[in-house]
Amino acid sequence: MTLRLAPHPIAVRLIAVLVVAALLVGCVGIAAAAGDGATGDGEARRRLLAGLEADLDANPSVPGEVVAVRAPGLDVTVAAGLADVSEGVPLRAETPFRIASVTKTFVAAAVLKLVERGDLRLDAPISKYLSPESLAVLRADGYRPRRITVRQLLTHTAGLFDYATTDAYDAVNVDDPGHRWTADEQLRFATEHGDPLGAPGKVYEYSDTGYVLLGEILGHVTGEPLPVAVRQLVDFRRLGLNHTYWETLEPEPPGGVALAHPYFDTFDGAMLDPSHDLYGGGGLVSTVGDLTRFYRALFHGRVFDDPRILRLMTKISGPGRRAGAGMGIFRVDVDGERCFGHLGFWGTQTIHCPRLDLTFARTTNQADDADFDSDPLERVIADLARAQDQDS
């Protein structure tokens, strides 16, 4: 499945301006000792680790990779390579990382919990839920918030220009990587550097701007800050998401492992203030274990009480049909299996395949992956799940 579901680019020219002290070439080794970078047992672990090693051999710019695979009779996590190139820190099974746009699945689930409770209407205009300040910014750029719905924000069909894909946004991060962005500033940036892309509901365009607005809506409806709203609505504690948190907006879980460094080629994304992608389009830190736990809970009926809400979430919109876009989730193909998931900019991927009851999460902590072929390892993962399915 060689797809790019969630573009949130940091321009290539970052490399020329800010370069890490140590180059990846010659620094990437295989570090997956049992009990440190690998869990699970037997043939499944051996095959997965061989797949990770093959990925790193074929892609020398990828510092490391970790993957967790869950299915009936299958519970394996393996890791290889480095979490921090300059310090030579191995990537481990429990290493947390910025999940970037995979955050959107959490945000969409939180919004849909409000819909399930009757506290928010999908087809209500966003003018009902946004602050006067945000509405004024949108109207000044020609948007008509009374004609844009919550549903359209969720499905990327609101016609909103995306601040995160502009050269101008990249330039600010190049010039001042420590800049502390606000959600209001990012909304203004979107309206200052682009105009409406089309009539609401008529055009699909992936947009972090829309999910920043959803973050504001969550705060307005619940009366809580975005991290608290998502944590409570999704119910992190009940689902056992003990290693998932909003970077800099919540305290790190106690006793955790150091955050994996996210790379764009040799540029170390740890140099960027997390606020560049923090307010709904991204922002969460998690582990492969927590991500598989969340997706299995989502598809096993532990997030929504009403199964119709999950069907609504995974329904592909008309304008988003080519992209396979639902609400904070995409329909994808994994080795011939019909699956659902999301990608994140820093090499993150979380997928669930209902027929096999297969869930996997992985990260390569490398955003510059245009030539990275994810299909070989996905074939290994799908084959492992099929073998378990045949044996059961």
298 within 8 A of 353, measured Cβ to Cβ:
no
Tokens of residue 148, six digits: 């844009």
List C-alpha distances in Å: 210 to 34, 146, 194, 319: 42, 15, 14, 16
List C-alpha distances in Å: 291 to 97, 161, 236: 11, 29, 11
- 11-43 b/e with 16+ CB inside 10 Å = b? beebbeebebebebeebbebbbeeeebbbbeee
363 within 8 A of 46, measured Cβ to Cβ:
no
CA–CA distance, 365 with 379 (Å, rounded to integer)? 21
Please report the DSSP string for 48-76 in residue order.
HHHHHHHHHHH-TT--EEEEEEEETTEEE
Of 101, 134, 207, 374, the active-site residue reads: 101
- Identify whether 101 is a catalytic site residue: yes
392, exposed or middle or buried, with CB in 10 Å at 0-12, 13-18, 19+?
exposed
CA–CA distance, 286 with 288 (Å, rounded to integer)? 7
Partners of residue 359 on adjacent β-strands: 70, 352
248, exposed or middle or buried, with CB in 10 Å at 0-12, 13-18, 19+?
middle
Q: Please, what is the angle between helix 183-193 and helix 132-140, to 10°? A: 10
CA–CA distance, 293 with 70 (Å, rounded to integer)? 9
Closest CA to 328 of 228, 207, 200, 232: 207
Catalytic residue numbers read 101
